[in-house]
Amino acid sequence: MEPDRQRTSKEFLLNEIDRHHRPSAVTPRRWGRLALVTAVAAVAGITVVIATQGGSVPVEKAPPATAASVQLLDRVAQAAFTQPQAQARDTQYSYVKTVGHSTSLSEGSGGTMQRDTTTENMEEWIAVDGLRPGLQRGTGGDKEIPAPSGGALNSPTYKLLAGLPTDPEALLKRIYADANLNHGAGTDSTTGPDQEAFVTIGDLLRSSVAPPQVSAALYRAAGHIPGVMTVDDAVDAAGRHGVAVARVHGGERDEWIFDQQSLRLLGERTVLLKDGPWGKAGDEVTSIAVVARGIVDAPGQTPSTKSNA
């Protein structure tokens, strides 16, 4: 192993040893809505409980994440942790380029439902500190993105991500707090907090740029969500094959696809598990591939053009 990789791998290992042996430094928080979520890690045997305010909320019953998925996510987390640290200044922008497609339904003549596929290739620039407008470039042209200010989990800035807990248990509490607020008991949502937590983590990993320690924590947090499993072979929107971490909900399987060698996130897709108006079992509802990401100085600039400057 090269000296740099050996050093970062050692740092990751020592960090994990310290994390599992130190007393919890997380101060319990009292969330505004009732929430009690237990997520069991199949390998570590860790139980995560969100602070509650006077009661508990039942969650979707699903088996713990499979041992294979926890092991894969641990490997992915280590690979993410050892990536070079992006040096991001407040005046810079995070950049993500994706290619892919999504499916929509429309009513045709005679009341029949017509299934359409829409291409969704996109480049996006978001201010690191969220205090300036960003830019979205797609097939329809350029569109200014309003400044997100401090950002939120569903519209994060690099600065917000850099401030998230790097302890997987504490990070999972933060994610489940939002998931229960909008998808827990007492809401009209049929998604449920477990599925929403899985989708939130997937969105953060796919559409944002985060420090390596935060990315690693997100992957390890996902291994605590009930119902998480693996898929041996999956293909992203760019035609690249990989192994996937997945979760089934509502007759669909959401997959995060990773390169089998580097364990880099390639993209994600949603696959139908049964025939219906959206298509036949095995059809893709959505598929997105991440083809480039990084930190740049200005909207319209890409990591490749920056390196050539």
**Cβ contacts of residue 158 below 8 Å, gap of 6+?**
86, 88, 94, 126, 128, 129, 208, 209, 210, 295
Number of domains in the chain: 1
Range of the domain at 204: 3-308
Query: Residue 30: how many CA atoms within 13 Å on its side-chain side?
Result: 3
Residue 58 or residue 129, greater confidence: 129
Give the number of other CB atoms < 10 A from CB of residue 221.
28
What is the per-residue pLDDT for 20?
Answer: 43
d(CA 91, CA 280): 47
Q: Residues 4-10: contacts with CB within 8 Å, 24+ apart?
A: 5/82, 8/81, 8/82, 9/78, 9/82
pLDDT (mean) for 124-152: 94
> Three-state SS for 3?
helix
**10 confidence band (pLDDT: 50, 70, 90):** low
Query: Residue 8: how many CA atoms within 13 Å on its side-chain side?
Result: 16
d(CA 124, CA 131): 16
Contact predicate 199/247, CB 8 Å: no
Contact predicate 260/250, CB 8 Å: no
Is 90 exceeded by the pLDDT of residue 145?
yes
What is the per-residue pLDDT for 11?
Answer: 55
Which pair of tokens denotes residue 58?
């039942």
pLDDT (mean) for 288-307: 90
Is 80 exceeded by the pLDDT of residue 148?
yes
**Cβ contacts of residue 294 below 8 Å, gap of 6+?**
86, 94, 95, 209, 302, 303, 306
Q: 197: closest CA among 62, 91, 100?
A: 62
What is the percentage of the chain residues whose pLDDT exceeds 90?
65
**Cα(first)–Cα(last) distance of the chain, in Å?**
32
What is the per-residue pLDDT for 52?
Answer: 29
What are the beta bridge partners of residue 154?
none
**46 confidence band (pLDDT: 50, 70, 90):** very low
Is 50 exceeded by the pLDDT of residue 42?
no
Q: CA-based angle 171:175:177, to the nearest 5?
A: 115
- Sole residue written with tokens 């139908």: 272
**Where does 184-236 have alpha helices with state H?**
193-207, 212-222
**Radius of gyration for the alpha carbons in the chain, expressed in angstroms and rounded:** 20
Kindly tell me the number of DSSP H helices and DSSP E strands found in the chain: 7, 12
Q: What pLDDT digit, counting tens, does each position of 218-232 carry? A: 999 999 999 999 999
What is the per-residue pLDDT for 34?
Answer: 24
pLDDT (mean) for 148-172: 93
Q: What pLDDT digit, counting tens, does each position of 56-99 carry? A: 334 447 999 999 999 999 999 999 999 987 679 999 999 999 99
Residue type, 212: P
What are the beta bridge partners of residue 286?
102, 270
Is 70 exceeded by the pLDDT of residue 174?
yes
d(CA 174, CA 51): 10
**109 confidence band (pLDDT: 50, 70, 90):** confident
Burial class (CB in 10 A: 0-12, 13-18, 19+), 86: middle
d(CA 230, CA 244): 6
Q: What is the DSSP letter of 98?
A: E
